[in-house]
Amino acid sequence: MSSTKLKKAPLQEVVFELRWEGERNANGVLYDSGFELAQGVLSQKLKAQFPLRKKLIPEGLSATFFGMPLHQYWSGEFEWPVVQHGPGILTINEIEKGYEWEKTYKPTVIKVINSLCEVYDEPLSFRSAELKYVDAWEMADGENFQEFINKNFLVKMYNEYSLPGTIIGTGLSQRFLLEDNSEIQVDIANGVNDRTGKEAVILNTTIQKAQNFKKRDILEWLEYAHSRTSHIFKEILNPDFYASLDR
């Protein structure tokens, strides 16, 4: 998560998510009044970089899916990054192969946000922004989750009681309030590497802020969010283990 990519980056996926306010219809259901027109214009604006468009639901159902992505924009068949747009929501997802903060990911996020703001007739009332990193390390044969954590993280996990059976799931979740009222959550859990199917340690680092954003506020917060997630990623790992990721 540094500005320059680690040589052995454990990154599985990074997601930037942006949400905005909706309106309520006569039945009290939230909807995005500008979505139907905006999604067509956004498709044209993104076409040079993301020519492949995929619809996630049938025509005419968008009003019932507020806050869910309904359209995806890819550069090719499952070629990342992917932009997702739905009523009240936008995400930009990237995986390790194409990720570099300064060179690729941040410029793409900024470009897509600018395009989003241009395609709605009325200014959007942004209400939350989120940046999430998913990292994973496969465990060696015979190595268990707690051993891996105690060796490679600056977190210690022990059971000081008689276990009732074999541990099949364990994890740690902590949430912190930051000085600007952003919240950062760190989740460490055992799981499976989706790409290889092997047992792995999964680290989710998520920073989120809920407030009334203007576009310039979002762009400023984006840099702050990256700085804070990068810092905690480095701080939570054993220094020797962190150094091994760049050798």
Phi/psi of residue 4, nearest 5 degrees:
-105, 135
Domain boundary among 124, 149, 170: 124
Residue 173's φ and ψ, nearest 5 degrees, are -135, 130
Q: What is the pLDDT of residue 60?
A: 63
CA angle, residues 148, 152, 153, in degrees to nearest 5? 105
- Residue 246: inside a domain: yes
Would 85 be classed as within a structural domain?
yes
Q: Which has the closest alpha carbon to 55: 18, 86, 76, 30?
A: 86
Last-in-domain residue among 103, 124, 145: 124
Provide the residue range defining the domain that includes 98: 22-124
In a domain, 222, yes or no: yes
9 located within any domain: no
Say if 12 falls within a structural domain: no
Per-residue model confidence (pLDDT) at position 158: 85
Asked if residue 193 and residue 235 are part of one domain, the reply reads: yes
Tell me which residue of 243, 7, 232 sits closest to 133, measured CA to CA: 232
Same domain, 144 and 43: no
Are 116 and 213 members of one domain? no
CA-based nearest residue to 16, from 102, 156, 133: 133
Kindly state whether residues 61 and 169 are assigned to the same domain.
no
In this structure, are 150 and 97 located in the same domain? no
Q: Which two tokens stand for residue 113?
A: 């946000």
Q: How far apart are CA 125 and CA 211, in angstroms?
A: 10
17 in any annotated domain: no
Same domain, 156 and 73: no
- CA–CA separation, 199 vs 216, rounded Å? 42
Tally the domains of the chain.
2
pTM, to two decimals:
0.94
Per-residue pLDDT, 167: 83
Query: Are 185 and 221 within one domain?
Result: yes
Both 188 and 237 in a single domain?
yes
- 157 and 244 co-located in one domain: yes
Last residue within a domain, chosen from 99, 124, 149: 124
11 is a domain residue? no
* Mean pLDDT, the chain cut into blocks of 10 residues (247 residues total): 77 98 90 93 97 86 81 95 98 97 97 98 96 95 89 92 88 96 97 85 98 94 98 98 95
Q: CA–CA separation, 206 vs 194, rounded Å?
A: 19
**Are the C-beta atoms of 133 and 226 separated by less than 8 Å?**
no
pLDDT recorded at residue 103: 96
Instruction: Give the angle 207-212-217 at the CA atoms, nearest 5°.
Output: 65
Same domain for 159 and 227, yes or no, is yes
4 inside domain: no
Q: What b/e readout covers 115-154, taking b as 16+ CB neighbours within 10 angstroms?
A: bbeebbeeebebbbbbbbbbbbbbbeeeeebeebbeebbe
Kindly report the three-state secondary structure assignment for every residue of the chain.
CCCCCCCCCCEEEEEEEEEECCEECCCCCEECCCHHHHHHHHHHHHCCCCCEEEECCCCCCHHHCCCCCCEEEEEECCEEEEEEEECCEEEEEECHHHCCHHHHHHHHHHHHHHHHHHHCCCCCCEEEEEEEEEEEEECCCCCCHHHHHHHHECCCCCCCCCCCCCCCCCEEEEEEECCCCCEEEEEEEEEECCCCCCEEEEEEEEEEEEEEECHHHHHHHHHHHHHHHHHHHHHHECHHHHHHCCC
How confident is the model at residue 90, as a pLDDT?
Answer: 99
Both 229 and 170 in one domain: the answer is yes
Considering the domain architecture, whether residues 157 and 101 belong to the same structural domain is answered as: no
